[in-house]
Amino acid sequence: MKQSLLNQVINLLEEDLKTIRSAAAETHRASTGDESKQEGKYDTRGLEASYLAEAQADQVRQLEQSLHKLNTLTLIEEPDEVIPGTIVIVSSDKTDQDSQFFLLPAGGGTMLKYEDQDLTVITPSSPIGMVLLARSIGDILQTDQLGEIFISEIY
């Protein structure tokens, strides 16, 4: 089950990578093509396109690193504490419903469906991820986003 959810995140990031690679290649062509040739001393189209191409290439590298982290992640079925690869269910004093999080080394902010409920991917560097990391069932924690939370399940 966790592997299936992880695969969904990987597939979404691979689609993002494919799109960004295509955009980066197009921007690179635009920055080096005839239409970006400077037509006057204040014409900066070519320079601007090269900056954009560089930023997109950086996004490609970051996504490749994220995919590597996800593809090499070892999922533990019944962890004793919250670690990357753990699904965490918390109850909050600010909401009347439980929140489900999937702690992964990349892909933060991705929304998945699990058993007809929303499951949010968070990373260890996110505010909620930092609070949950290395915690156990029964821990009561304070968060800015959700207020006081109680860890009811980890798996």
CA distance 85 to 80: 12
Within a 10 A sphere around the Cβ of 104, how many other Cβ atoms?
26
CA 141/CA 154 separation, integer angstroms: 15
pLDDT tens figures, 116-142: 889 999 999 999 999 999 999 999 999
What are the residues whose beta carbons fall under 8 Å from the beta carbon of 151, sequence distance 6 or more? 82, 88, 89, 90, 132, 135, 136, 137, 138, 139, 140, 141
pLDDT at res. 43? 65
Instruction: Dump pLDDT digits (tens) for 85-124.
Output: 999 999 987 777 899 999 999 999 999 998 888 999 999 9
Confidence band for 82, pLDDT divided at 50, 70 and 90:
very high
CA distances, 18 to each of 23, 30, 63, 129, 146 (Å): 9, 18, 10, 28, 35
- Give the pLDDT confidence score for residue 33 in this predicted structure: 63
C-alpha of 142 from chain center: 23
CATH dotted code for 87-154? 3.10.50
Render pLDDT for 6-52 as a digit per residue (tens, 0 to 9).
999 999 999 999 999 999 888 877 777 666 566 667 667 777 877 88
What are the residue ranges spanned by the domains of the chain?
2-71, 87-154
* Residue 120: per-residue pLDDT: 98
Task: Fill in the amino acid letter for 142.
Answer: Q
Question: Cβ–Cβ contacts within 10 Å for residue 13, how many?
Answer: 19
For residue 115, the 8-state DSSP code is T
Query: Residue 18, exposed/middle/buried by CB under 10 A (0-12, 13-18, 19+)?
Result: exposed
